[in-house]
Every structure is written in C-alpha cells, then in structure tokens.
Amino acid sequence: MLGTFTYHNPTKIYFGPNALEGLAGELAKYGPNVVLVYGGGSIKKNGVYDQVAAVLNATGKNVTEIAGVMPNPTIEKLREGVAVAKATSADLILAVGGGSVCDYSKAVSVSANCDEDPWEKYFVRFEEPSCPVVPVGCVLTMAGTGSEMNAGAVITDHAAKLKVGHVFANSDVMPKFSILNPEFTLSLPHRQVVAGIYDAFNHICEQYFSGSDDNVSDSIAEGLMRSVVENGRIAANDDQNYEARSNIMWAATWALNTLIAKGKPTDWMVHMLGQGVGAVTDATHGMTLSAVSLPYYRFIMDAGLPKFARFATHVWGINPVGKSERELAEAGLSSMEAWMRELGVAMNLAELGVTEADLDDIVAATFIMTGGYKTLTKEDVRNVLLQCL
C-alpha cells in the first residue's frame, strides 16, 4: 500500500432477519423529535412502515413524516424537508427506504440548522457543514447505493439540468446506525433489484479501474466483484433467494463505504456520465450507469491495459494462456457485457429514451473527474455518449 490515508467509519450496522431489534436501543440515544423519511409508500405495502412505527411509538418519540421522496431527490423536495426538520427541532432523521431516501436524509441533516440555501452551499460550492449536523439513522429496503454507510448525498436540480453528488468529508454526516434486514428487500420489483446489483458492481469498478494497482484495496475489490457477479446471477433468476440477496446487500455496503478506495486514486467518470443522463432523463440511477459503462471502459482500456487484463483473470476467471494482454482485457469486458445482459439492465441510452438531440445537455451536465487512467475532455464525453446510444 503506497498511499497514505486515514480511515474512520462510525456507522454501526445491524444485519440480518432480526436487525430491526437494534432500533429501540439506538432511538434511546437521541431526543424525542424524530423526522421519519420515506419514499412512495412501498414500505406501507410490505409492512416495514408498521414495524418501524411500532418501535417509534413504543419508545415515545414525537414523529413527523416526510413522505414521497423520489428516486432522484430534487432540490425542491430537499428544501421542503429542511423546513420540516427546522420546524420540529429534529433530534434524529430516520430514513426508511433505499439509497435515495438515505441520500436525501443526509442532505436534510446538514441543512436543518443552517440558514443558507442547501443547493448553493453543498452542491454548487461543495462546502462542508458549518452548523450542527442532525444525526441520521437508516433502515434500508433496497441494496445497491451503499448510502447506508457513507457520507454521500445526490440531489437533482431539474431547472439547471444538473444531478450533483457531494461526498462530505465530515464524518458526522455518516449515518449513526443502519439496519440491514435482507428480508426488507424481497418485495422490490425485479427492475429495481437488478439496477441495485449493477449499481453496487459499478461502485467497485470506479475504485478499481484507476491509478495505482498493486494494493490490498484492489484485492478486496476483486472479491467483492466476484460475489456480486455470482449472487447477482442467482438473484436475477430468483428474486426470493434470501442468501443471494443478503450477500448482495452486504457487498453493496462495502462497495461504497470508502474502504476499497484507500491507498489509490479513484475514477468515478461512469457516475458522472450516468448522473448527466439522470439530470436530463430522470432515469433509474443503476440503469444510467449500465447504459454508459461498457463504451467508457472500452474508451479507456488501452490506458489501463494491465488492470483490465487482471480484471479478466481475477474476476471472470479467463485463462490467460495464448492471449495477449489486450485480448485478455477485451475478453474481460465481453464477460462483463454477457453478465449485464443476464441481469437485464439497460445496455444503451436509447433504452432510457435518450436521443442525439439530448447530448448537448448531458455533456453540459457531466463533471470531469481526474482520478482515472484517462482524463476526458468534453469532446471525449460526447464521443463516449455517442457510442452509448
């Protein structure tokens, strides 16, 4: 490990079928005013809402709800949530849902005690919190984003045609606790399941295909990728397979709790491209990533050829005998493509309704990152997107 780093992750995880039993003890650590945040109401259909509400009632909390958090939370919804948290003097924000609900709750948490506009402060100027952060806890109902164990938040401004993520350096933004019961994910629609699987896989790729390659972080990443591939295949064919879904849930958490980024730079251009697409289309996040991944990786492959060859052998088990480094690298990406088709994720932007007429807006919304094998120009971004159509 050639890099120098500090690693601290304060999130406490409760994992397994009885994970919710940890909620009462965590609630006891905070004051009486809880803001309960959730999405479109699926937690009321699958019974998770009733289970959480029973614990909140038993612990005597004053509960105010913020419902209707959308898959790509908007700045308007964020401002609404900040107003609620301010008005109720929130002692804890409890996110019950998937990554968008967790992301949104963190964005509210850093804004509730501030008077500045959250979009300008955190998603334009990328500042750190200058006021007390309201604690966040998560009850996860969808695996994929890793938001349950990191300090990231992604918010969309449709008027500006921007979808922006901010990973806060302040560890106070990280959830104080997260409850991961894989059973809570079993009622998800199939498309959300596979989108989450690919989201987790790509989080690992973003940290793997970049910079210094010979370190422990990459070896961990390869193990996580193999697990997501194997269990993704099972889950794609059997949505109710608890063991596969539990393995995916745990791998997704470790994919983005920043552990495998240590000791090396990271890329994140697939996410920048995907967020540009999401800003214009409002498409499902995991599907925007799958639609742009292969053209991007084929575009940068020659710049990181040894790593792509290693990916082929260490992740996909391709026999290197008789193959050049480039042939190995291409075979690895071909195996990845075949697996993505097995999952049934979006393989191009046309599937998401994107046309060439949308490219100017997507290019404008795409941030350029510098941690990968290649730093793209805006012209490169356009060329990659053209290959994604």
Q: pLDDT tens digits, residue range 40-90?
A: 989 999 999 999 999 999 999 999 999 999 999 999 999 999 999 999 999
Measured in whole angstroms, the distance separating CA 98 from the mean position of its chain's CA atoms is 10
Q: Return the percentage of the chain with pLDDT > 90, whole number.
A: 95
Q: How far apart are CA 284 and CA 274, in angstroms?
A: 10
**Residue 170 Cα distances to 6, 110, 339, 381, angstroms:** 13, 10, 37, 31
Residue 214 has pLDDT above 80, yes or no: no
CB atoms within 10 A of CB 333: 18
**β-strand pairing of 162-167 with 136-140:** unpaired
3-state secondary structure of 111: coil
Q: How far apart are CA 265 and CA 14, in angstroms?
A: 30
Which domains are seen in the chain, by residue range?
A: 12-185 (3.40.50.1970), 190-388 (1.20.1090.10)
Question: How big is the chain, counted in residues?
Answer: 389
Residues 313-343 have pLDDT tens digits of 999 999 999 999 999 999 999 999 999 999 9
φ, ψ of residue 268 to 5 degrees: the values are: 75, 10
φ, ψ of residue 247 to 5 degrees: the values are: -65, -40
Residues 87-142 have pLDDT tens digits of 999 999 999 999 999 999 999 999 999 999 999 999 999 999 999 999 999 999 99
Q: What is the mean pLDDT of the chain?
A: 96
Question: How large is the average pLDDT for residues 274-299?
Answer: 97
Please give the radius of gyration of the chain, using alpha carbons only, rounded to the nearest integer.
20
Residue 213 has pLDDT above 70, yes or no: no
H-only helix segments in the chain? 23-27, 42-45, 48-58, 75-87, 99-109, 118, 190-208, 216-237, 242-255, 269-281, 285-300, 305-314, 325-343, 359-365, 378-388
Residues 163-194 have pLDDT tens digits of 999 999 999 999 999 999 999 999 999 999 99
Q: How far apart are CA 156 and CA 325, in angstroms?
A: 41
Beta bridge partners of 63: 34
Quick check: 207 and 231 in contact, CB under 8 A? no
Quick check: 65 and 73 in contact, CB under 8 A? no
Instruction: Quote the Cα angle for 116-138-81, to 5°.
Output: 30
Measured in whole angstroms, the distance separating CA 349 from the mean position of its chain's CA atoms is 20
Structure token pair of residue 59: 């612990």
* Those residues with Cβ within 8 angstroms of residue 226's Cβ, 6 or more apart along the chain or in another chain: 315
Output the pLDDT for position 99.
Answer: 96
Output the pLDDT for position 226.
Answer: 98
Residue 4 has pLDDT above 90, yes or no: no
Residue 244 has pLDDT above 90, yes or no: yes
pLDDT classification of 151: cutoffs 50, 70, 90: very high
Structure token pair of residue 116: 């500045």
**Residue 230 Cα distances to 77, 191, 290, 315, angstroms:** 37, 18, 18, 10
Residue 1 has pLDDT above 80, yes or no: no
**Residue 237 Cα distances to 56, 59, 63, 326, angstroms:** 36, 40, 39, 32
Q: Return the percentage of the chain with pLDDT > 70, whole number.
A: 99
Measured in whole angstroms, the distance separating CA 260 from the mean position of its chain's CA atoms is 14
Structure token pair of residue 221: 């990443």
Quick check: 81 and 104 in contact, CB under 8 A? yes
